[in-house]
Amino acid sequence: MLLYYGENSNTRPVKQIGDMLKDIHDLFNLIKYAYKLLADIVRQLDAVYYFQWNHKLMCDNNICLYDIFLCIGELLMSFLTLDEIVSNQVLFMEHWNAYKQVVIAQLQGNTYSEIDNRKVKVLLNLMNEIENTILSEKIFANAMRIKFVDVKSNIKLCTSIQSCIKMNIAKFENKQLSELTHHKCLQFVKLSALYVLYINIHGMNDKKLFKQVWDCFKKYTFFTMHCNVVWFPDVFFKKHVNINIDNFIDKKCMNSIAGIRDNYILHSHENLHKEVSIYNMYVLSWVIKFDEIIKKDISHMRLGEIKQLVNIVLDGLTLS
């Protein structure tokens, strides 16, 4: 909806926004529900760890609870992704403002219409709420403002989240950006979002973990989330943590990440023609293999040939 807004559309801007308004309202309600869901999950985890029942389910190393932490990270990732999508949609914001001006003009009586002004006022208030929640690029920031006063004192929960982050961040320490699949990249984004939530609740109480994460930021200077939506981990981190990051990382180190990122992008552009040529060769090779194997009768295929067919299909999905 927002991601592809304005593509291949000849509709008037005001009409486009009017047609999308219901969907945007649904998104607004979904985000409000997601905030409530996040608050409820964290408070329930707080209750679970507070009582410290002597049961396997309550064990720090239990994978079920670690999965819940990662699900929280995924929810937070959806917030930051929406923020990035909105920040890229300059055209949408222009059209939104044009639509809002029409609504204001109607309310002020500058246009002739038989529409009930009370309904127009409700619409304007709704648009203001949507702006404050979605279009201000503060979806993630608003999630960080949820009050978790009681959770701060829960040392057991703090330790468990910290252990989960450590265990998962260790998987990225010896890998370069070029080695990561898109799925793994998103996994790192989830961890980063979870770590920001952890710091905002419990504070910076493990400098070693912070160094591990920051070292990863040096290697993974940016991720392409979807289409033209690009995420900069260091920028995101500095923007959303509620601590003075200058006390932990000097300015020269911060600037070095931006330099590494610019250098990587520059060299990526230089090799773009070569990479496109290689990709074309891969696609051509895949088409030839696929064309050969689909000519065979699958009912007479041996196990090895079926495996080969499956692998070719999977390769095609990867290339797509």
144-168 average pLDDT score = 86
| CB 48, CB 58: distance < 8 Å | yes
DSSP assignments along 91-152, one per residue: HHHHHHHHHHHHHHHHHTT-S---S-HHHHHHHHHHHHHHIIIIITS-HHHHHHTS--TGGG
Please count the other Cβ atoms lying within 10 Å of the Cβ belonging to residue 18. 14
First to last CA, the chain: 22
So what's the pLDDT on residue 244?
A: 75
Question: Would you say residue 99 has pLDDT above 60?
Answer: yes
Q: Which has the higher per-residue pLDDT, 105 or 152?
A: 105
Measured between alpha carbons, how far is 252 from 79 in angstroms, rounded to an integer? 30
123-144 average pLDDT score = 92
So what's the pLDDT on residue 110?
A: 62
Q: Mean pLDDT, the chain, as a whole number?
A: 82
Measured between alpha carbons, how far is 124 from 129 in angstroms, rounded to an integer? 9
Pair of tokens at residue 203:
């504070």
Question: Would you say residue 272 has pLDDT above 70?
Answer: no
Q: Which has the higher per-residue pLDDT, 198 or 8?
A: 198
Tens of pLDDT, residues 40-63: 999 888 888 777 654 545 454 455
Pair of tokens at residue 197:
């939530």
| CB 104, CB 251: distance < 8 Å | no
The lowest-confidence range among 22-26, 191-195, 286-290 is 286-290
Q: Which residue has the tokens 């793994």?
A: 184
Residues of the chain with pLDDT > 90: what percent? 25
Burial class (CB in 10 A: 0-12, 13-18, 19+), 170: exposed
So what's the pLDDT on residue 143?
A: 93
Burial class (CB in 10 A: 0-12, 13-18, 19+), 22: exposed
Pair of tokens at residue 239:
């923007």
Q: Which has the higher per-residue pLDDT, 87 or 11?
A: 87
Buried b (16+ CB within 10 A) or exposed e, 267-292: eeeeeeeeeeeeeeeeeeebeebeee
User: What are the DSSP E strand ranges found in 165-206?
Assistant: none
So what's the pLDDT on residue 296?
A: 79
